[in-house]
A and B are shown apart, each in its own frame.
Chain A
Amino acid sequence: MKRTYYPNYFSIDDIIVTQEKIPCITEQELSNLGFLDQSHSSTDLKANQEVQLPLWYILQVQKERGRNQFYDVKIPNIYKSTYSEICKADATAVDLGKLNKHFYELGRYVSHFDRNGFVGRMIYETCRSRMKYLKDLCNNINNEQRNESRLDHIEYHLFLEGSKTNKKFSEWLQESTVNIKTSEMVVNHRKRKRALMEAENAIAGSQKT
């Protein structure tokens, strides 16, 4: 992955982010769109009805229709003030992975619908204060107990790069580098294959007994 995140049209990460569902309130009656709300079985969406819509759809509606909106887009709970209070108190302690794997990127999109600029400010401040912690995490190459799952997706990739570099330099300083290595692609592939085979064997074993 490129270390700078500027997604293009083909970006899988951006497609995953835009798949997220966002709570919306219909501003008018919308014929035939009843199927978007699975909790009701009516053909149409009524005015003032709450419905969860995928981000890609909302963005398209916004692009096509500008001011003349069908929906009032709400801010998802994870960006509401309660959560932001936690972030302010100690942003490094927050398990971003649990809130949303794409906390920053989703926040970027959501901030378009945020009148107060609150979400934008919050993700910016959160990221800024977590960066030192992330950098320290990269330096901590020998620590087996890792908290990678607590990171945002982009943070995680920064962490991978950072810790890889730190490992290389400390190996070089300790003169334990090997000049030529197996391609990472092959190594990862082998590792997964082995894990898969072990899992299969375990299942086969448990079935026999």
Chain B
Amino acid sequence: MSGQRAFNLLKEHQQTTDRLISNFNSEDLRAILEEINIAFQENHQDALKFQETRDKTLFPMIGYRHALLQRNLRCTLAYLYNRLMKLKEIRWHLGPVITPDIKEALTEPEIQWFNNYSKLLTNYMTSFPDAINLMTDIKPPKALFIEVKCLIDHGKLELENGETVLLQRNSIHYLPRTECEHLIRQGILEHISH
């Protein structure tokens, strides 16, 4: 009856730092929805009672339940909304493929939303005559080829010219910018300046 649970749910979302997104907490969500339902039912009954008795002492409690109900609703919607915004951010930073550990934290509708958003973005980008990729050239490009250092063992990378490069930890490569920019953004490669 204090709205604390809904608030904690939101806190849980905000304070998750060891992973990109917290596990969808369906258990708490269900309990909060139940709290909203109960508050609504009780207010409904008290309203009926008031019609019979004109008992004004019912007012304070009805007022409180009403406020609580709205508060719970706000926290819950904010929880759902801010999770989606997080997914949007993930799409822009990490690309269209969600890793298994992120996928695990999501509900089916959220995965659906992510895929739809991703599709929408791709459609938009390919709608231009030369299919602009908004994820590349975040900064004005300077050179066609850049020198990069590999930060983790990533395996083989096949280039557009058919050549394959083995990305091993601490190895240094000279690669076409367009083909390795996303790997730098994902933290697999590091751009070395001179």
Contact = CB atoms under 8 A, between A and B. Distances in A.
A–B contact at 8 Å CB threshold (below): yes
A180 interface: yes
Interface string A12-37: 10011001000000000011110110
A178 B191 CA distance: 7
Contact of A15 (B10, B68, B184): B10
Point out which of A33, A54, A180, A192 has the most chain B C-beta atoms below 10 A from its C-beta: A180
A36 to B, nearest CB: 8
A12 B78 contact: yes
A19 B78 CA distance: 14
Interface in A23-58: 30-33, 35-36, 45, 54, 56-57
Contact of A178 (B3, B66, B193): B193
Interface stretch (B113-121, B125-133, B134-142, B153-161): B134-142
Interface in B160-194: 177, 181, 184-187, 190-193
Interface residues of A, number: 40
Interface stretch (A120-128, A141-149, A157-165, A182-190): A182-190
Contact of A196 (B18, B81, B141): B18
B85 to A, nearest CB: 8
Contact of A179 (B68, B78, B81, B146): B146
Contacts, number: 108
Contacts of B1: 35
B123 interface: no
Interface stretch (B26-34, B53-61, B103-111): B53-61
B75 A180 contact: no
Interface stretch (A59-67, A74-82, A88-96): A59-67
A158 B77 CA distance: 27
Contact of B67 (A12, A30, A56, A183): A56
Contacts of B17: 188, 192
A180 B188 CA distance: 12
A176 interface: yes
30 contacts: A10-B81, A12-B13, A15-B10, A16-B11, A31-B57, A33-B61, A33-B64, A36-B64, A54-B2, A54-B3, A56-B67, A57-B71, A70-B63, A179-B139, A179-B141, A179-B193, A180-B138, A180-B181, A180-B191, A182-B185, A182-B186, A182-B187, A183-B94, A183-B185, A185-B90, A185-B94, A186-B186, A189-B19, A193-B18, A196-B18
Given A31-B57, A57-B71, A181-B185, 15 more contacts: A10-B77, A15-B78, A31-B61, A54-B2, A57-B67, A60-B67, A70-B63, A180-B139, A180-B177, A182-B185, A183-B186, A185-B20, A185-B90, A190-B187, A193-B18
Interface of A: 9-12, 15-16, 19, 30-33, 35-36, 45, 54, 56-57, 60-61, 64-65, 70, 176-190, 192-193, 196
Interface of B: 1-3, 7, 10-11, 13-14, 17-20, 57-58, 60-61, 63-64, 66-68, 70-71, 74-75, 77-78, 81-82, 89-90, 93-94, 138-139, 141-142, 146, 177, 181, 184-187, 190-193
